Amino acid sequence: MTRFAPLMATAALLLGTTALQASEIKIGFNNVDDAEINGEAAFAHGFRDALKGTDFTVSLFPSDTLGKEKERLDQVSTGLLEIDLGAISTAYSLSPLLKGATLPFFFSDDAEMDKITSEPAMMEAFNAPMLETGVRFEGLNIIGTPMGIHNSKHPVSTVEDLSDLRFRALNGEQLSLMEALGTHGTVIAWAEVANAIQTGVTDGYFNPPSSSLRTGHTSFLKYYTPADLFPSTRAVMISDDWYQGLSDEEKTQIDAALAAGFKANREWIADWSSKVDGKLEEAGVTITPLATGERDKMEALAKPLWATTLTADELKTWQDAKAAADSK
């Protein structure tokens, strides 16, 4: 088998499916197709249900069936894949302004984030560099309650409690946050996380509760602190070439289906937020809230990262949009 065989096989699957059914819409994502525990699956099901009775059919490809993040992004860019539910880091690799969605302690809640990111001017700014690559950003899926602190050693209620822990970091930005909070981190691929924690290479990670629940990591991550570091989001991206090739009526149907997907995702997070603590406790996880004043300490330590994550102009864009949203 040549080194191009996996890519050729994926392309054949995509092209073959398209040839069989030109009206098929494929949605690729990296997690399980379970709309009860996965917010992206909730979006995908809401989108699919909204297109029932139209000429479109929607096929879901969960669990990286169509490739990992970079591969799916390439497929959307070239029109082989209609919709990708990707990591926010995948989206901001094309549009750096989107890094603002990961600023620690920037948003008061998910509703404020929605107000800011849905503003037409912000959507236009997000999309300006993305459309040049054939990718259209449609919005953010919420995949869990805001980022908290999972670890295998002991309860965390203060900044000082972090000092003897080492965490898995997703990327350089998350590593910087860990260091700012006085703890240690190392960048580890998600596929290697379970082994890294079980062998003592790392003690946990910064993620929403859904991460440990759906992966079974609760068997060794026995302590969770709901620190509300920043929203838990992933990006909805579609092929602009595909979208522009639709008729006006079809575009209207797709726009309505996207809106239905986002509505289903937000309804999912409202329901999930009400029961996630109970699920953690059922799994034997101890939930420890931050002590009084400790979140303020974390915010003060993390806030300087805003200026290193974004350029001065990008940060001003987000701050102006936040001020405008808060004034409404």
Domain that holds residue 282: 148-230+278-327
For residues 216 and 291, give the distance between their C-alpha atoms in angstroms, rounded to a whole number. 28
Mean pLDDT of 80-89: 96
CA distances from 99 to 155, 173, 273, 314 (A): 30, 9, 24, 9
Mean pLDDT across the chain: 92
Q: Is residue 1 part of a domain?
A: no
What's the pLDDT tens digit per position in 36-55?
989 999 999 999 999 999 99
Residue 133 φ then ψ, to 5°: -100, 0
What per-residue confidence (pLDDT) applies to 6? Answer: 46
Percentage of the chain with pLDDT > 90?
87
What per-residue confidence (pLDDT) applies to 14? Answer: 52
CA distances from 73 to 78, 106, 119, 183, 187 (A): 9, 27, 24, 33, 22
Same domain, 109 and 19: yes
Q: Is residue 214 part of a domain?
A: yes
Same domain, 89 and 30: yes
User: Residue 294 pLDDT > 90, yes or no?
Assistant: yes
User: Residue 164 pLDDT > 90, yes or no?
Assistant: yes
Higher pLDDT, 74 or 326: 74
Same domain, 315 and 242: no
Q: Is residue 3 part of a domain?
A: no
**Residues 149, 227 contacting (CB under 8 angstroms):** yes
Same domain, 203 and 292: yes
What per-residue confidence (pLDDT) applies to 314? Answer: 98
Mean pLDDT of 229-247: 96
User: Residue 3 pLDDT > 70, yes or no?
Assistant: no
HEC profile of 262-324: HHHHHHHHHHHHHHHHHHHHHCCCEECCCCCCHHHHHHHHHHHHHHHHCCHHHHHHHHHHHHH
Antiparallel, parallel or unpaired: β 83-87 and 232-239: antiparallel
Token readout for 89 is 């880091």
What per-residue confidence (pLDDT) applies to 214? Answer: 83
Same domain, 133 and 256: yes
Q: Which of 48, 49, 138 shows the shortest CA–CA distance to 85? A: 138
Q: Is residue 114 part of a domain?
A: yes
Same domain, 160 and 194: yes
Mean pLDDT of 223-248: 96
Same domain, 259 and 288: no
Same domain, 124 and 221: no
Helix %, strand %, coil % for the chain, to 5?
Answer: 55, 15, 30
Reported as a pLDDT band with limits 50, 70 and 90, residue 5 is very low
Q: State how many domains the chain has.
A: 2
**Residues 25, 82 contacting (CB under 8 angstroms):** yes
Residue 64 belongs to domain with CATH number: 3.40.190.170
Mean pLDDT of 180-185: 96
Q: Is residue 181 part of a domain?
A: yes
Higher pLDDT, 327 or 150: 150
What per-residue confidence (pLDDT) applies to 163? Answer: 97
Position of tokens 């998350």? 174
Mean pLDDT of 240-248: 97
What per-residue confidence (pLDDT) applies to 245? Answer: 96
Q: Is residue 2 part of a domain?
A: no
Same domain, 175 and 323: yes
What's the pLDDT tens digit per position in 185-235?
999 988 899 999 999 999 999 999 988 998 899 999 999 999 999 999 999
Q: What is the pTM of this model?
A: 0.88
Same domain, 302 and 212: yes
Q: Is residue 118 part of a domain?
A: yes
For residues 47 and 58, give the distance between their C-alpha atoms in angstroms, rounded to a whole number. 8
Same domain, 290 and 141: no
Same domain, 290 and 252: no
Q: Is residue 13 part of a domain?
A: yes
User: Residue 4 pLDDT > 60, yes or no?
Assistant: no
Mean pLDDT of 121-145: 97
User: Residue 290 pLDDT > 60, yes or no?
Assistant: yes
Lowest mean pLDDT among 16-25, 192-201, 264-273: 16-25
User: Residue 12 pLDDT > 70, yes or no?
Assistant: no
**Beta bridge mates, 139:** 236
What per-residue confidence (pLDDT) applies to 220? Answer: 96
